[in-house]
Each structure stands twice: as C-alpha cells, then as structure tokens.
Chain A
Amino acid sequence: DVKVTQSSRYLVKRTGEKVFLECVQDMDHENMFWYRQDPGLGLRLIYFSYDVKMKEKGDIPEGYSVSREKKERFSLILESASTNQTSMYLCATVGAGGRNEQYFGPGTRLTVT
C-alpha cells in the first residue's frame, strides 16, 4: 500500500511564525503536490514538484514556498504565517502504472492565531 505521511495532524501557530509542513511518501513517485482545502472553496493547489529540486507554482503560491531535496520528501513552508492561512493542508503523490490516481496524506489542520 502507498503510504503518504504528514508530519502533524494538528498544528497551532502564532501570526508571523515560520511554519514547516513535511510530507513523506514511500512509493518512489516523481510527482508530489501540496493543496489546501477550505469549506466552500474545495481543493486549491499551492505548489507541485515533478522531480527532486524541481517545483512549479500552483494556483495560490503567495505566502508559501516549498523544498524537495529528496525524492520522498516534499516540504511546504509558510514564511510568515497569517490568520488567512488557517486551513487543512493536504499532500498528495501521483501513482504510476497508468492509473494516475492521486494518493493523499491524512492532512494537517493548521490554525494560525
């Protein structure tokens, strides 16, 4: 079974703090994604990466950066957390073998106070 793990399920941070969200996958997948999910807005893509050290902006990259130093690990960084970044953050990888389904981690519910 594919395993996508995220460093925390729940996180509370203060405004202005630097926040690191880590995602690790064990299936040697090239493509990894960071989304945020908010009520009424659905899934929104923040960044994705298709290889080590490669990254592409998604639809809402402002206020975020990412790091992919190793194939299995994709980190999302909030440089200076703000209250409007309170959200559920979801990491995903894309399966191989022609199905192209996305495997999601359990999510990190981040609250910025």
Chain B
Amino acid sequence: DAKTTQPPSMDCAEGRAANLPCNHSTISGNEYVYWYRQIHSQGPQYIIHGLKNNETNEMASLIITEDRKSSTLILPHATLRDTAVYYCIVRPANFGNEKLTFGTGTRLTIIP
C-alpha cells in the first residue's frame, strides 16, 4: 500500500465541521483513497472512498485534490460519537482478498 501521512491528533467543537487531512503523494493511478475510523474498543468502520472525484455519503464527504496527492475527509456536523481514530489508506479497488494496513491515523476528539 502506498504511504499516507496524517496529523496524529485534532480537536473539533461539537456541531462544527471536522476536516481531516491526508497526504498520499506517491499514490498510483489505479489506487483509491479509503477512509476508516475506529472508535475506542470497537472494530474499524468503513466511512467512504474515492478515486479522483469528490464523494459524499450519509457519513462524510471526501475531497481529493486534482493532482490526487492529498485528500480531506469532512464530517459536516461533528458529534461526540465521532470521537475516534481516523485512518486514511490508498489501494486498488479490486483487491478483494488482500489485507488492510492502517498507519497511525488521526485521533479526532470532539469537544462538547
């Protein structure tokens, strides 16, 4: 998997948008950007993924720069339940039987 770089921690006020950055300057043309999160003592949870266009689902939005070297996960109205470690990874989409490798991620704390 291509390497990603994320800030180790961030705080965000409850109700505000949380913007989590990720650098992936060595991403290949066929690699997607995936985001997962892990709430304390729970299994990781898939959030969203994208190739080059911006994506939005019921959980979050993903903004990928035009050169694809970085991206931002946006939680539009953060709640206390969004406190978690967020992982950004890059990998080909057609990898069904390959392992996931998480970096150290960003520990997001939502402040009441």
| Contacts from A to B (Cβ < 8 Å) | 4, 30-31, 33, 35, 42-43, 45, 48, 50, 56, 58-59, 90-92, 94-95, 98-107, 109
Contact = CB atoms under 8 A, between A and B. Distances in A.
A87 B94 CA distance: 30
A43 B34 CA distance: 16
B53 interface: no
Contact of B42 (A92, A95, A103, A107): A107
B interface, over-half SS: loop
Contacts of B42: 106-107
B104 A90 contact: no
B103 A42 contact: yes
A17 to B, nearest CB: 23
A interface, over-half SS: strand
Contact of A99 (B44, B49, B103): B49
Contacts of A4: 43
B103 A102 contact: no
Interface in B90-112: 93-97, 99-104
Contact of B96 (A42, A56, A58, A100): A100
12 contacts: A35-B99, A35-B100, A43-B101, A50-B96, A50-B97, A56-B97, A100-B96, A101-B46, A104-B43, A105-B43, A106-B43, A107-B43
Given A106-B43, A107-B43, A48 B49 contact: no
B9 interface: no
B30 interface: no
Contacts of B99: 33, 35, 43, 45, 48, 58-59
A48 B99 CA distance: 8
B46 A31 contact: no
A100 B95 contact: yes
A71 to B, nearest CB: 15
Contacts of A58: 99
A102 B41 contact: no
Interface in B8-42: 34, 41-42
